[in-house]
Chains A and B, each alone.
Chain A
Amino acid sequence: MGCEVIGEFKAVTKRFGATTALDGLSLKISQGINGLIGPNGAGKTTAIRLSLGLIKPNAGKAELFGFDCWNDSCAIRRKVGVLYEKLAFYDHLSGLEQLKLMAKLKSGSESSVELKELLRLVELDDAAHDRRIGGYSAGMRQRLGLAQALLGNPELVLLDEPTSNLDPLNRAKILELITSLNKEKNTSFLISSHILPELEKVCDTFILMDKGKLLRQGSLEQMIDKTFTTKFTVKAQPIKQVAALLKGEEYIEDLSIVEDSLHVTVRDVGLFKQRLPLLIGQAGASLDEVKMVRSNLKSVFKSAVEEV
């Protein structure tokens, strides 16, 4: 997977009255699967709307495929598919008719066979193809929306909380579909979500944001490297005494006792590993277990939020 940049936000600010939804946001969208991650109200939806030219930035510049998002949005919309958080269709049409209409609007015309295939790909059962959308369940609407986003083989697909209406099993299936589309057709994705663990597995790069600002950007490894502290859990007896000893060490950032183990945040891993046995020996305590806590997206995100 290449890391070619296909879109870029340069210090984009967007205000809605008194609220600043995007606050000098700079980010890069690369080829592959991008995860746009942030808590509710971080500005993810606003960023997606802005990239399709639905709203105009107050300051800064946003570009996709070299086109300006506000001025050349039609050119962008030819190459990009999107699934919004809020799903809206012509409810009087059937799923297939809706897709036909959108396909016509997107790329001239598309055959029913291909469209049916697309509907099967997102696992909308055949019986539903010719039923009115008005009678669809939330999950079916989500699938139809996804199919709509994939119309006309887009180069980039923007998905705003694509799994919010699905149960865990179907979430996993959708994410699988995204991965396979990326592999087979080289389609790039930008997936916004506040559910961190599910994105961790599928995304190549992550864009972490909060309060309209970029916190971090890069692959998981890159981001973990940037997190200078490392967490350990230590099991030792007697725990209180060991805690008291460690508290005096200057490379310890944070320390707490949770049940029978010690949670330690360490600034210098080498020094910690060297000093720990010595300290334990001094105290005449016994060391049962030392484990490094694997950094995951959540911990990276947490530390990134705390840093600001």
Chain B
Amino acid sequence: MSVKMGLALLKAELEKVWSRPILEITVALMAVMTIFSVRPLTEIVSHSEFSTAFQSALTGSVSATVASLMLPWVIMCGVLMSLSFARDYEQGMMQSLLSVPVSRKLLFTVKFVAVILPLTLLSWFFTTFFVGITFYSSPWLVLQLSFFALPVSLLSLMFCGGISVLIALTIKRTIPAVLTALLANLFFWFPTTIRTQHALMEGAGYANYLCLTPYKGALVFLDKLLGIAPMGIDIVPVGGSSLADALEYSLPAGSFAVLLVFYAFIFAIPMFVYFYRRFEICE
């Protein structure tokens, strides 16, 4: 009964959130980002003579693909999630749905899932498909990636969604909420563009901690799962300690997994509880 209700509601929400140009725009953005970031096999082969170096470059390219896919996720998830909550609040859709015996828990879950689920599936599909057709010669790698990309994208999207709901339910106005959510998520995404190695070599000490931020942490976690060790981390920069001591390289994969789960729930759970226990709908 409750499951049937949830599914009917989810269908309507999915259709509403992913209406006409939204899905197309997301797919196009993701496709463009993936195509540009996958390094063709030929390029990698011609540059790497040793098999370990080859493997490293290969997986490095794979993780770069995921990294660049992250920008469209972060943008779409931030925008759609804050839009979904703030606009529904502002236009009275929330009070309309809560006039039938739909529990607040169900409504929150459905709205959250309606944004997260398609994005997770899309990013999973894009990584698997594009990496698959480029690196068809390493099926094991493709399989591994396909397996790991799913939870990693899900968890990072949950962080993105959680913080966007927080912003939407605090600001309660559609346009300001969407812009704020976009900025906040871009702020957290920004560290992924910084190469820890390079920054540390330049003597930028803060770079050591960037891997603890949510999106960068997710990428580092994926790298570790795929067994990617960046080349040249045994170099000791002038006046500094060895790069191998940096958090990004010294912490085990498990700690990043814990970190990622922590981030996934840090906003999502409190917002869920806040929504069903206290949130007042009076627009």
Contact = CB atoms under 8 A, between A and B. Distances in A.
Partners in one complex: yes
Interface of A: 16, 46, 49, 52-56, 73-75, 77-78, 81-82, 84, 86-90, 92-93, 101-102, 104-106, 108, 149, 151
Given A56-B278, A87-B92, A90-B16, A77 B8 contact: no
Interface residues of B, number: 27
Contacts of A90: 12, 15-16, 93
B281 interface: yes
Nearest to A105: B100
A99 to B, nearest CB: 11
Interface string B94-138: 011111111100000000000000000000000000000000000
Contacts, number: 76
A77 B92 contact: no
Most chain B beta carbons < 10 A, residue from A49, A84, A89, A108: A49
B99 A81 contact: yes
B9 A101 contact: yes
A80 to B, nearest CB: 8
Nearest to B280: A55
B4 A104 contact: yes
B204 to A, nearest CB: 45
A49 B96 CA distance: 11
Given A49-B282, A54-B280, A86 B91 contact: yes
B43 interface: no
B20 to A, nearest CB: 9
A105 B282 contact: no
A92 B96 contact: no
Interface in B1-53: 1, 4-5, 8-9, 12, 15-16, 19
Contact of B92 (A56, A84, A92): A84
Contacts of B278: 56
Contacts of A105: 5, 8-9, 97, 100-102
